[in-house]
């Protein structure tokens, strides 16, 4: 439901404030913005309007409302909680409609990039925030209104993957109407002018169109050398049981994921989001035994983590040294939906190598589900190509994996060659 400004704002008397507008001066006027029409995006990223704040203080004078046919009976408009809610609510509602109309839509041209991912709640890739820096609202009328409105907004885009602000800009927008229009139409036109201040910025348009948020900040860790020990050889067809024994379930008390041994010294790889901020986790082995896993290293932007348990005698997974080839057969191993389905092996093909937000990924149609995160993506020989990261994208059969070489690099790992497990 739209909220009519005149029904939710009550004028109140207050002492002059440093940021009060001057009603004796005309309201600011800004040239109309020309937003970009993209005609669809190349990116699979989802942008969500999640953050709103105001630099204005309650009781700041921000305008004047005049009623009646001759615009008599003026009342001062002060900034209130209800006015703040009116601005935020209308901005959010109009944002989706405006972006769809201008072509800021998903590749299938049916959904706005500002929609949530189906079934993913608020799990957006990019979060849009707005801060109201200045506001001037002067209208005349009741059911139909005329007048002017002005706003200055600071826009910011936060990358969930990189955990940093990747865009920041300030825009000014205004609306002036000499003819009377329904109050809802005046509000919609004003909000569109505010939104166009963002959408007309070429940098923001490029960010949404391509999903390129720039390179990740480099965080170098001191090299950590480890002996691999014995690795499982023979490939999936001959040595599947041994490969499955090297993959474990990780439990943190608030959720679970997967991990896999890369060294008989007890080192495992998984996702950072699987361990979150825990120092210690429970590692459930396929045979039912549990070990304590210590989180030794994490790289939050690349979403990888290194764990260590007591040394193990079982064979560990070998890592692929050559580049993965598009079209080759691959397998994912993990614990979808927790320990009850641990040791699940699924098959697919390597669909493509991708770059999303400036970050490399392997794309595959191999089936994975929540709980598989942190598990290995292996080739037919049983060698690790990548780490499962993203399950349940907007389209079925599209899942993303972290290349194993990236994980080793970000965690600063140096592995010595291991011997094969005797057959």
- Please state, in angstroms and rounded to a whole number, the distance separating the CA atoms of residues 101 and 39: 9
- The domain ranges of the chain are 5-210, 224-420
Query: What single string gives the DSSP state of each residue in 359-417?
Result: EEEEEE-----TT-TT-EEEETTS-EEEEEEE---SSTT-EEEEEHHHHHHHHTEEEE-
32 or 46, higher pLDDT:
32
Give residue-wise pLDDT tens across range 213-227. 776 566 667 889 999
User: Helix 81-101 vs helix 183-199: angle between axes, to the nearest 10 degrees?
Assistant: 70
Task: Tell me the mean pLDDT in the region 19-37.
Answer: 87
- The answer on pLDDT for 62 being more than 90 is yes
Between 103 and 303, name the one with better pLDDT.
303
Region 62-85 average pLDDT: 89
- Beta carbons within 10 angstroms of residue 322's beta carbon: 8
Using 50, 70 and 90 to split pLDDT, how confident is the model at 44?
low
pLDDT in the model for residue 139:
94
For domain 224-420, the CATH class is mainly beta
Q: Tell me which H or E stretch contains 194.
A: helix 183-199
Which class is domain 5-210?
alpha beta
Rounded CA separation 145/63 (Å)? 14
**294 three-state secondary structure:** strand
Is the pTM value of this prediction over 0.85?
A: no
Mean pLDDT rounded to a whole number for the chain: 83
148-207 confidence digits (pLDDT tens): 999 999 999 988 777 788 899 999 999 999 999 999 999 999 999 999 999 999 898 888
The Cα–Cα gap between 132 and 276 comes to 33
Which of the four pLDDT bands, split at 50, 70 and 90, describes residue 41? low
């Amino acid at each position: 439901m739209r909220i009519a400004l005149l029904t939710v704002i009550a004028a109140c008397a207050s002492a002059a404030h440093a940021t009060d507008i001057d009603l004796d001066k005309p309201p600011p006027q800004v040239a109309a913005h020309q937003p970009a029409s993209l005609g669809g995006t190349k990116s699979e990223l989802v942008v969500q309007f999640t953050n709103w704040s105001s630099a204005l203080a309650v009781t700041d004078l921000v305008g004047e409302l005049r009623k009646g046919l001759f615009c008599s009976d003026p009342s001062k408009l002060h900034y209130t909680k209800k006015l703040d809610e009116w601005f935020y609510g209308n901005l959010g509602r109009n944002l989706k409609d405006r972006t769809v109309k201008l072509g800021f839509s998903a590749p299938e041209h049916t959904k706005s990039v500002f929609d949530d991912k189906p079934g993913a709640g608020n799990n957006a890739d990019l979060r849009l925030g707005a801060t109201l820096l200045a506001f001037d609202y002067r209208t005349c009328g009741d059911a139909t209104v005329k007048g002017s409105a002005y706003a200055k907004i600071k826009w910011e885009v936060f990358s969930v993957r990189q955990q940093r602000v990747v865009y920041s800009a300030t825009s000014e927008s205004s609306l002036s109407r000499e003819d009377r229009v329904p109050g809802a139409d005046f509000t919609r036109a004003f909000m569109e002018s505010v939104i166009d201040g963002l959408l007309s910025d070429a940098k923001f348009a490029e960010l949404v169109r391509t999903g390129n948020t720039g390179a990740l900040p480099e965080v170098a860790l001191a090299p950590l050398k480890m002996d691999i020990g014995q690795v499982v050889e023979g490939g999936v067809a001959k040595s599947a049981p041994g490969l499955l024994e090297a993959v474990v379930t990780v439990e943190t008390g608030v959720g679970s994921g997967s991990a896999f041994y890369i060294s008989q010294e007890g080192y495992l790889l998984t996702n950072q989001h699987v361990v979150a901020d825990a120092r210690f986790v429970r590692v459930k082995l396929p045979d039912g035994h549990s070990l304590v896993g210590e989180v030794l290293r994490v790289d939050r932007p690349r979403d990888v983590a290194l764990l260590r348990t007591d040394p193990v005698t079982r064979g560990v997974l070998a890592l692929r040294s050559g580049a993965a080839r598009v079209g080759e057969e691959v397998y994912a191993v993990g614990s979808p939906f927790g320990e009850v389905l641990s040791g699940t092996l699924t098959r697919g093909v390597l669909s493509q190598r991708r770059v999303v937000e400036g970050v490399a990924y392997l794309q595959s149609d191999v089936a994975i589900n929540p709980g598989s995160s942190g598990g290995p993506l292996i080739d037919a020989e049983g060698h690790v190509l990548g780490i499962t990261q993203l399950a349940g994208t907007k389209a079925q059969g599209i899942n993303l994996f972290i290349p194993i070489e990236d994980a080793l690099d970000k965690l600063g790992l140096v592995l010595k060659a291991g011997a094969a497990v005797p057959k």
